[in-house]
Amino acid sequence: MTTRRDVLALAALGVVAGAVRPAKAAAPSGQVTYGVHITLAPTWLDPAETAGIITPFMVMYALHDAVAKPMPQGNPSPSLAESWSAGEDGLSYEFVLRKDAKFHNGDPVTADDVKFSFERYRGAAHGLLKERVASVETPDPQRVVFKLKNPWPDFITFYTVASGAGWIVPRKYVEKVGDDGFKKAPIGAGPYKFVSFTPGIELVLEAFEGYWRKTPSVKRIVLRVIPDESTRLAALKNGEVDIAYSIRAELAEELRRTPGLTLRPTVGSAPYFMYFPEQWDPKSPWYDQRARLAAKYALDYNTINKALTLGYSHITGSVIPENFEFYEKLAPPVYDPDKAKQLLADAGHAGGFDAGFYTCDAAYANLGEAVVNYLGEIGIRAKLRPLERAAFFKGYADKKFKNIIQAASGAFGNAATRLEEFAVKGGNYAYGSYPEIDELFPLQAVELDHAKRAAILAKMQHLLDDRTMYVPIWQLAFISGVGPRVDNSGFGLIKNYVYTAPYEDITLKGV
């Protein structure tokens, strides 16, 4: 079957990746200091508590390693496992671990550690994984076999990409020090070992020369929290940090203009979109698809992109991230205010209409402001309502919002997992659904033939577009800055990963 062929091809890639391991590199030297935009949490030091967001991976890529994970070679790419294969019946997956992988304390990475890490995992998607995995067997120290209760085509996606379940901790050490002790002095199998952590302030790591893939070039990595964006940029200009995460809008322009500094935009996995939760209510103006189409044609996407993210965000026609498996490329939206006004008039709103609230996460109110202005230009009069992040997501998930919602999702997965959440009946963020889309969803969930499954998911994405269920806006660019000492920053090496990784590939100039 195609699925297994793909899996075997990836496995072969892993063997090749392992085979091209370079000769022993020079001893690591120098230091790279990061200006980090968010508060470092101790939970990020322990893969067992990985939330379904990208930020913990900023630490995990340094300190820990996974059976397989997104890497420059592919997503996922073999890491601690040199290969894997699926059983003919789709009910088992066998991973073969590499022999030269070690933890920072010198213990080898074994199948027992993989089993322990999986069973201990309590982060994102743990319920789903534990519900569908019948058992984990370790026939020998180098082999791990996951037995599933039923065929599950997305097992590899969830185990290696959409969760932290495949990131490995040393069983003996964790059992010795306990969960709290592990967070205070974590030991992993990644390219950098733990030196010190001041909660909320700074994490210091040092190169692990026994890392299987390669010896890191940089001796010391310091992740320093600088909450204020202007201060982060000042620290980068002043040479206090070498890499500053998240510099936006006018400050990004300032960064671009500063000699010696390099702007590094990376497009993540979070498409932003407008959603009309009342599109199933005949009394709502959004019930008429022409009104939703008018909103789609009303936005000058390129101008907004240039103003807010210097043109680096990707204008997209889909709510599925372009790097996701089963992503179907749809035509990006175009700006046509005349057509938008005509559509509104055809829908019986020649003079426009009061659209109520435009509710969004306050962190992205700048995008909301621009969209509301453009909607106003064609007569759709909306009031911006930015909400604090947690309140926004709670209200969104509890289906409390009306009128227009601006949202995004950075959750991992593939097109199927995203559609399940946002477009299919019963989804966490689906305020309604269309029967033709709902009918297709269970068909793809049991389809083991990759091509046939892809075709069903592509059809679902086209239907989403045909119904104008969403108005996708852009796949947001995350803009960071790199100082003059850094040679290879690691930005963009892993597709759609917004931070620097793999850390062992980062180099300093003249070192």
Partner 1 sequence: MKQFITRRLGYSLLSLLVLSLTIFFFVRVTGDPAALLVEPGASEDDIAAIHQKFGLDKPLWVQYGLFMASLLRGDFGQSFYYQTPVFELYLDRLPNSLLLALVAMAFSLLVGIPSGILAAVRVGRFWDSAGKLFALLGLSLPSFFVGLVLILVFSVYLGWLPSSGSGTPLHVIMPAFALGWYFAAAHMRLTRSSMLEVLGSEYVKLARLKGLPQSWVIGKHAFKNALIPVMTLAGINLVLMINVAVVVETVFAWPGVGRLLYEGISFRDFPVVQGVVIMGGTMIVVVNLLVDLVYAVIDPRIRLEK
Nearer to partner 1, 134 or 397 (CB): 397
Is residue 225 a contact partner of residue 202, using CB atoms and an 8 Å limit? yes
**Nearest distance in Å: CB 126, partner 1:** 9
Return the beta strands (E) in 442-511 as ranges: 470-482, 486-488, 507-508
37 close to 200: Cβ distance less than 8 angstroms: no
- Residue among 156, 129, 163 nearest 53 (CA): 163
| Least CB distance to partner 1 at residue 203 (A) | 13
User: Residue 331 or 390: which CB sits closer to partner 1?
Assistant: 390
Of 161, 163, 164, 129, give the one whose Cα is nearest residue 147.
129
Q: Which is nearer to partner 1, 123 or 216 (CB)?
A: 123
140 vs 228, which CB is nearer to partner 1?
A: 228
- Shortest spacing between CB 235 and partner 1, in angstroms: 5
Q: Round to whole Å and give the CA distance between 210 and 239.
A: 30
For residue 457, the minimal CB distance to partner 1 (Å) is: 20
Query: What are the φ/ψ torsions at residue 47 (nearest 5 degrees)?
Result: -60, -20
CB of 238 to partner 1, least distance (A): 5
DSSP string, 250-271: HHHHHHHHSTT-EEEEEEEEEE
Least distance in angstroms from the C-beta of 112 to partner 1? 27
Q: Which residues contact 78 (CB under 8 A, 6 or more apart)?
A: 10, 11, 13, 14, 15, 17, 18, 67, 68, 84
CB closer to partner 1, 27 vs 391: 391
- Verify cis geometry, omega within 30 degrees of 0, for the bond prior to 442: no
268-297 burial, b if ≥16 CB within 10 A, otherwise e? bbbbbbbbbbbbeeeebbbebbbbbbbbbb
State in angstroms the smallest separation of the CB of 397 from partner 1. Answer: 6
CB contact set of 341 (below 8 Å; sequence gap of 6+) = 294, 378, 379
| Shortest spacing between CB 468 and partner 1, in angstroms | 23
Q: Which residues bind partner 1 (CB under 8 A)?
A: 35, 39, 41-43, 51-53, 124, 127, 180, 183, 198-202, 224-228, 230-232, 234-235, 237-238, 240, 389-391, 393-394, 396-397, 409, 411, 421, 428-429
Pick between residue 215 and residue 428 the one whose CB is nearest to partner 1: 428
SS (H, E, C) 347-384: CCCCCCEEEEEEEEEHHHHHHHHHHHHHHHHCCEEEEE
Nearest to 420 by CA among 431, 429, 412, 432: 429
Least Å from the CB of residue 224 to partner 1:
7
Question: What's the closest the beta carbon of residue 428 comes to partner 1, in angstroms?
Answer: 4
Shorter beta-carbon distance to partner 1: residue 5 or 394: 394
Which CB, 49 or 505, lies closer to partner 1? 49
Peptide bond into 502 cis (omega under 30): yes
Q: How near is the Cβ of 91 to partner 1 at its closest, in Å?
A: 26
Distances in whole angstroms, Cα of residue 162 to Cα of each of 16, 57, 425? 24, 12, 22
Q: Closer CB to partner 1, residue 205 or residue 293?
A: 205
* Between 124 and 380, CB nearer to partner 1: 124
- Closest to partner 1 by CB, 39 or 303: 39
> What angle in degrees, to the nearest 10, is found between the helix axes of 111-120 and 171-184?
50
Kindly tell me which of 43 and 92 has the beta carbon lying closer to partner 1.
43
CB 68 within 8 A of CB 256: no
d(CA 48, CA 185): 15
Nearer to partner 1, 134 or 363 (CB): 363
CA dist 446 and 458 (Å) reads 16
Where helices occur in 276-336 by DSSP H, the ranges are 289-298, 301-309
Backbone angles phi, psi at 290, to 5 degrees: -65, -30
